[in-house]
Amino acid sequence: MLGLLGAAALVLVTGAPWLLPEAAGGKTLKPPQNVEVIMIDDSFTLKWNWSEHSTTDVFFSAAYKTAEMGDWEELPGCQHVTSTTCDFSSLETNVYSEIQLRIRTEEGSSTSPWHELDAFTPAKIAQIGPPGVHLEAEDKAIVIMLSPPGTEESMWALEHSSFRYNIIVWENSSGLEESITTAYPNYNVYNLSPDTTYCLKVRAELPLLKKIGFYSPVFCINTTVENKLPPPSNIHIHPRDGFFALQWDYPYDKVAFQAQWLYAFLKINPESYEDKWKPIPGCANVQTTQCAFHQNDFPKGIYFIRVQASKGNHTSFWSEEKRFATEKQTVIPPPIISAKSINANSLHVSIGTSKDSGNGSVDSYYSLVYEVVFWENSSHSERKRLEKTDFTIPDLKALMVYCVKARALLKDDKQNRSSTFSNTVCEEIQPGNASKVWLSVGIGTALFSIIAVFCIMKFISECIKYVFCPSNKLPSTIDEYFPEQPLCNLLLSPSEEQMERCFIIENMNSLTTVVESGHSDGDHKRYSSQTSQDSGNYSNEDENNESKTSE
Amino acid sequence: MALLLCLLMPLVVLSCGPGGSLGCELPQSHVLDSIQNLRLLGQMRRLSPLSCLKDRRDFRFPWQQVDDSQLQKARVMSVHHEMVQQAFQLLLSERASAAWDKTLLDQVCKGLHQQLEHLESCLVQLVTEEDSSQSYGRASLEMKRYFQRIRLYLKEKKYSGCAWEVVRVEIMRSFSLSTTLQERVMDEDMGSP
């Protein structure tokens, strides 16, 4: 009996641990399993499993830590919770910083080991909830006003302008669907039928983060009965000589119109911008389907424009909002050009900018290229080049006048914007150094040839003189009777009447003095016949004398 | 020397590729717009920064994202885009319109919006071309983290005048840095020395 009691006690003692697993100092508590973090917009939820059976109440507590914090801190909303889910949305943390979570089971005074989750960035894992939807009906349009998912200072506070909204609209009866994607939270669906029921659902997307949100619930609305005055349609805007011409179509006459404008960026704001529309000066009350406004009134930016018709007390709905992006009327100041002929047959051109170029130096921020037009002053044949600011035009005709002008263009500009032409500069092209050499050589050659010709002529004249006009030295005896009378005179100056004076010599032995007659003609002296021999000697002597005298 | 030039020429030609090689073209006026916006931000000042010395805060601008010798166009674009977008959103908020002069604020917002339009068309193309395993660019994330710090600071200081002034100065600083970065990339793109 005692042995039986003892054995039972032993069994009880040994069997106690598995019979009473909650005994103090026994088996450890299990932490929660399959812990999940669910974040949708600003709602942060922690979910887990805990399948252990227990008799007493079990609690769960969680903690978090970020890189900036040194130690673990209690996760708000997740302390001593009894269910297997908790909401820690009140946690204020930088959603773009990594965060670590851990959770454990608590029972009485015992705790399980921590179950730690991998670190994560809330913004990366968060899902996009449905956007808020507010609808207003017109006769042929529906005005949709969306509010982005989350609150103003929420998870997506930094993503508001990145949201893209996908709207699915369908006619309730026919089921014809239309899918629209828009960047603006305020969107109008046009070209609808009056007095019809339309339904829609919307979801928000973040394309750059490759996130697609949940659809909103379906909203339905009825379009109104058709309005007497339809809204203007087919709005278009054209730039024209410092103005913008705004034109639209309208089926009826005798109707007044007004046009309004809005900064495009205001449409990105989900808040209502209805009160932010402003009238366009010059288009506030017009009777025609067009109006014009100064380009200066709309400095560079993106705008929206809408037009409304009115007749008496009736007004139409606003037309479709037309997006209008102006490009800055960039005033590119004309360059200043200077040209100088320095080298041979070329023109050195310098392009500069005027000092008073307006708001700072435009050139520093724009890449400019220059179109240079130059032409021969006489022929007006033009040639163009696109160049840098300092260059030389080669291969020009020397001593011709060339004129140059230039204008600046924006590099790679689709609109080909340019400045007006600069001043025109005309320059005479100087001949080159090589040409100068040739010129001087030419001149030298000409001079030389003139001198040469002169010398040749002189030489020829000398020759002629020599040939035709020899200086004969007659013997003294004859000489006294023959006054120097060059024979060349006979040939060279035949005009002069030649006078011959002849002497007849009868007796050689004694040369008698012959009485000279004073007559100019027929005076002659008579010589004897013996002179024939002497004449032969005579001529030789003469020749010798001649040669001597001619030297 | 001539041989060296011959070898280097192809490199130069390749590196001076057209700006549209990444399928994205920023208009010429982009940098000019940035500078204009910066000027407007400067004009917005209401309080003397000296009167707000005690409210100064180091927002830990992510320097390592912008001060990189390897200026990849895609990364620079995403940093600059993020910068412009966050500044734009901050100034677009209702709290900002309560703190600043309406006319100037409108001008700044208009300018920033225009810049954003240009940058976004570029960036969407770049993102589709890149490896889509990461939905966040590292640089973008750092920028967002930085701006979130600014927003939390404003909330902490209850959107006081001095807090806004500190934030305005901070935005100007980082905006000018981002613009310089953008300019540098565009210059490299056009192949200027």
A492 in reach of chain B (CB within 8 A): no
User: Environment class of residue A256 by beta-carbon count within 10 Å: exposed (0-12), middle (13-18) or buried (19+)?
Assistant: middle
- Residue A538 has phi, psi (to 5 degrees) of -55, -50
Overall CATH class of domain A9-125 = mainly beta
Pair A97, B145: CB distance under 8 Å: yes
| Element of type H or E holding B151 | helix B138-156
Most confident of A274-283, A328-337, A496-505: A274-283
Q: Which stretches in chain B have pLDDT values below 70?
A: 1-25, 28, 65-71, 124-136, 187-193
CB B178 within 8 A of CB B84: yes
Homologous superfamily of the A336-431 domain (CATH): Immunoglobulins (2.60.40.10)
Reduced to 3 states (helix: H, G, I; strand: E, B; else coil), residue A75 is coil
Instruction: Tell me the C-alpha to C-alpha distance, in Å, between residue A403 and each of A386, A427, A428, A528, B132.
Output: 16, 6, 9, 95, 59
Based on its alpha-carbon atoms, the radius of gyration of chain A, rounded to whole angstroms, reads 61
Q: Tell me the backbone φ, ψ of residue A62, rounded to 5 degrees.
A: -125, 160
Query: Which residues of A are less than 8 Å from B123 in CB distance?
Result: 208
User: One fold for both A9-125 and A132-222?
Assistant: yes
Looking at per-residue pLDDT, the higher value among A151 and A544 belongs to: A151
Top-confidence residue, A4 or B21: A4
To the nearest whole Å, the CA of B125 is away from the closest chain A CA by 10
Q: What is the DSSP letter of A420?
A: -
Q: Do A97 and B145 touch (CB under 8 A)?
A: yes
Best mutation target, A128, A160, A265, A328, to test chain B (most B CBs within 10 A): A265
Which amino acid does the sequence have at A364?
A: S
Q: What is the DSSP letter of A549?
A: H
Assign A309 to helix, strand or coil. Answer: strand
Helix (H, G, I), strand (E, B) or coil at A450: helix
The 3-state secondary structure of A157-203 reads: CCCHHHCEEEEEEEECCCCCEEEEEECCCEEEECCCCCCCEEEEEEE
Q: Which pLDDT belongs to residue B19?
A: 37
Residues A45, A85: contact at Cβ < 8 Å? yes
Report whether A77 contacts A87 (CB < 8 A). yes
Please name the residues in contact with A413: beta carbons below 8 A apart, sequence gap of 6 or more. Answer: B28
The rounded distance, in Å, linking the Cα atoms of B57 and B164 is 12
Which architecture does CATH list for A233-329? Sandwich (2.60)
**pLDDT tens sequence across A295-331:** 888 888 889 999 999 999 999 999 999 988 886 445 5
Q: How far does A143 lie from chain B, in Å, by closest CA?
A: 23
In whole angstroms, give the CA distance from residue A430 to residue A435: 10
Q: How far is B138 from chain A (nearest CA, A)?
A: 11
- Min Cα distance B7 → chain A (Å) is 26
Judged by phi (left if over 0) then psi (alpha if -120 to 50, else beta), residue A265 lies in: alpha
User: Residue B15 has what pLDDT?
Assistant: 38
Query: How many C-beta atoms lie closer than 10 Å to residue A469's C-beta?
Result: 15
pLDDT at A69: 85
Please report the pLDDT score of residue A432 as a whole number: 66
Which of A125, A66, A127, A73 has the alpha carbon at shortest distance from A98? A66
What phi and psi, each to the nearest 5 degrees, are found at residue A535? -60, -35
CA B10 vs. chain centroid, Å, equals 33
How far apart CA B180 and CA B34 sit, in angstroms, is 10
pLDDT > 70: what percent of chain A?
Answer: 73
Interface of A with B in 134-153 (CB under 8 A): 152-153
Q: How far apart are CA B44 and CA B108, in angstroms?
A: 9
Which chain B residues contact residue A164 at CB under 8 A?
A: none
H/E element holding B114?
helix B102-129
Model pLDDT for residues A154-206, shown as the tens digit of each residue: 788 888 888 899 999 999 888 889 999 998 899 999 989 999 999 999 999 98
CA A41 to chain centroid, in Å, comes to 43
Q: How many CB pairs under 8 A join A and B?
A: 90
Q: What is the pLDDT of residues A366-390, one digit of tens each?
A: 567 788 888 887 776 676 767 677 8
The 3-class SS string of A16-29 reads HHHHCCCCCCCCCC
Chain A contact probe: residue of B40, B148, B151, B154 with most A CBs at under 10 A: B148
Mutate to test the interface with B, among A68, A93, A94, A267 (most CBs of B within 10 A): A94
Percent with pLDDT over 90 in chain A: 34
Res A497: pLDDT: 52
Q: Which residue has the higher pLDDT, A344 or A355?
A: A344
For B141, the closest chain A residue by CA position comes to: A96
List A201's β-bridge partners, or say none.
A168
Contact status, residue A540 vs residue A517, Cβ threshold 8 Å: no
Measured between CB atoms, which of B110, B124, B190 is closest to A207? Answer: B124
- The pLDDT assigned to A434 comes to 64
A333-346 residue pLDDT tens: 778 888 888 777 88
DSSP secondary structure letter of residue A476: H
> Tens of pLDDT along A179-188?
999 988 999 9
Q: What is the largest CA-CA distance in chain A?
A: 225
CA separation, residue A431 to residues A371, A425, A434, A435, A486 (Å)? 26, 19, 8, 6, 58
Instruction: Give the C-alpha separation, A318 to A330, whole Å.
Output: 33
Q: How far apart are CA A88 and CA A122, in angstroms?
A: 12
User: CATH number of the domain at A132-222, out of 1.10.240.10, 3.30.70.3270, 3.40.50.300, 2.60.40.10?
Assistant: 2.60.40.10
Q: Which amino acid is located at A431 in the chain?
A: P
**What predicted TM-score, i.e. pTM, was given to this entire model?**
0.62
CA distance A181 to A165: 6
Can you tell me which residue has the tokens 């040639």? Answer: A383
How close A80 gets to chain B, by Cα (Å)?
29
Higher pLDDT, B67 or A21: B67
Q: How far is B130 from chain A (nearest CA, A)?
A: 12
C-alpha to C-alpha distance for A63 and A31, rounded to whole angstroms: 14
Q: Strand locations in A382-518, DSSP E?
A: 382-387, 390-393, 401-410, 425-428, 503-505
Nearest CA in chain B to A94: B148
Task: Provide the ipTM.
Answer: 0.78
Query: Residue A249: pLDDT above 80?
Result: yes
B89–A95: do the CB atoms touch at under 8 Å?
Answer: no
Structure tokens at B4: 């060296």
Q: Cα–Cα distance between A237 and A430 in angstroms, integer?
A: 54
The full set of domain ranges for chain A reads 9-125, 132-222, 233-329, 336-431, 433-467, 476-542
Strands A401-410 and A368-376: antiparallel
Look up tokens 């808040």; give the residue.
Answer: A271
pLDDT in tens, A212-240: 999 999 999 999 999 889 999 999 888 87
CB-CB neighbors (< 8 A) of B110 in chain A = 263-265, 301-302
Let me know: does A341 contact A429? Beta carbons within 8 Å. Answer: yes
In our burial notation (b when 16+ CB lie closer than 10 A, e otherwise), range B67-97 reads eeeeeebbbbbbbbbbbbbbbbbbbbbeebb
Put simply, the answer to whether B135 touches A209 (Cβ < 8 Å) is yes
Nearest partner of A438 among A400, A401, A402, A398, judged by Cα: A398
Residues 6+ apart with CB under 8 A from B173: B61
pLDDT of residue A546: 43
Q: In a 10 Å sphere around its CB, with 0-12 CB exposed, 13-18 middle and 19+ buried, how is residue A449 labelled?
A: exposed
Question: Does the beta-carbon distance from A268 to B113 stay under 8 Å?
Answer: yes
